[in-house]
Structure 1
């Protein structure tokens, strides 16, 4: 009877050990599978290589741990796998942020270039307007100078015509005086001749 109890206890103990080992094997397989999924991931697999290596070391230590050390080794291995995933996700996020920053910088640079080009075109337009205004002012100034010169010439011609008219008026007045004198002389001569004929 005692032997049967001992055998039963031994069988139960072996079953418990086998069950514990089976559970341990399941934990190791689960952690290895999780880490394998991470390393095969096309996006995240290339990141956090150091953390992935440390997680594999922690899983290996879990596989070799004695039963008393097993819970702590399991906790460390699980945290190492979680950390490897988080580190890979963080590196991927940082890479995406850096890429977005570069795209943002490029967009700002393109915007600055467009603004500079628009400012250059506006400056060129204003320069052309200024040049056209200068040319128009020069044309108007030349026209004004020509008009002033024509006015001066017209004034000189008018002055010359006035002097000529004055000279002609003077000559006409002298001719009139001469004609009056000749008329008077002829009248006097006629009167004299009439007086002489009557005597």
Structure 2
């Protein structure tokens, strides 16, 4: 009887120790899960995400604290998965927000690049327009210069033609004057020769002899 009592007492102490150990382990698991969830909730970035998942994880921890021994392993598994899911959901939402922000920044960069390219294109178009206008003005100036040069050349040719005509007319006048002078010289020479010839014939040639015809006798004297 005494042996049975000692055995029962030892068994009871073992059960108490086992229960105490199990209770201690349960407290460790609850504290671990609660601390992990609190760390997530207090995170300045992730704490704002996955609010529903965090609430479900906290409910799972509360059920774990009230679970019976036979249900505890299952409730512990559920609580751990709920906490992991809350962390994963918060990280996913944070990544999505960052991705959306990056997309917006990327879109803004593309928009800025597009605006910059459009501005560069407008400036290039304006530069080409100004360059084309300058080229047109330069072409017009050269054309005017060409027309002026052409007019000057035409005028020079006209003046040259007029000078040639004047020179030809002067040449004709000079030729006529030379011919007139030559004729005058010939006439003067002929006049001198005639005058000289008349003087020599009057001094050297004797006067011609006049022969008187005999008077005709009347018929009654014969």
Taking structure 2 as the reference length, what is the TM-score of the superposition? 0.82
| Greater Cα offset, 181-190 or 95-104 | 95-104
Q: How does 1:25-174 map to 2 (within 5 A)?
A: 25-174=27-176
Per the alignment, residue 175 of structure 1 pairs with 177
Deviations 1:40-79 (A, max 9, x none): 1112111110000000111111112111111100100011
Once the two structures are TM-superposed, the CA of residue 3 in structure 1 deviates from its matched residue by 4.1
| Greater Cα offset, 97-106 or 67-76 | 97-106
Deviations 1:129-156 (A, max 9, x none): 2222222211111111111111111111
Distance in 2 between residues matched to 1:158 and 1:140, nearest whole Å: 26
Looking at CA atoms only, which structure, 1 or 2, has the larger radius of gyration? 2
Distance in 1 between residues matched to 2:22 and 2:67, nearest whole Å: 13
Distance in 2 between residues matched to 1:81 and 1:187, nearest whole Å: 153
Residue in structure 2 matching 1:18, options 17, 20, 24: 20
Distance in 2 between residues matched to 1:188 and 1:36, nearest whole Å: 155
Deviations 1:145-185 (A, max 9, x none): 11111111111111111211221111222212221221122
Higher fraction of helix: 1
Once the two structures are TM-superposed, the CA of residue 106 in structure 1 deviates from its matched residue by 2.3
Distance in 1 between residues matched to 2:94 and 2:122, nearest whole Å: 41
Once the two structures are TM-superposed, the CA of residue 4 in structure 1 deviates from its matched residue by 4.4
Once the two structures are TM-superposed, the CA of residue 124 in structure 1 deviates from its matched residue by 2.3
Once the two structures are TM-superposed, the CA of residue 113 in structure 1 deviates from its matched residue by 2.6
CA RMSD of aligned residues (A): 1.8
Q: Unaligned stretches of 5+ in structure 1? A: none
Per the alignment, residue 216 of structure 2 pairs with none
User: Secondary structure of the residue that 1:45 maps to in structure 2?
Assistant: helix
Distance in 1 between residues matched to 2:44 and 2:52, nearest whole Å: 17
Q: Unaligned stretches of 5+ in structure 2? A: 203-222
Distance in 2 between residues matched to 1:72 and 1:128, nearest whole Å: 81
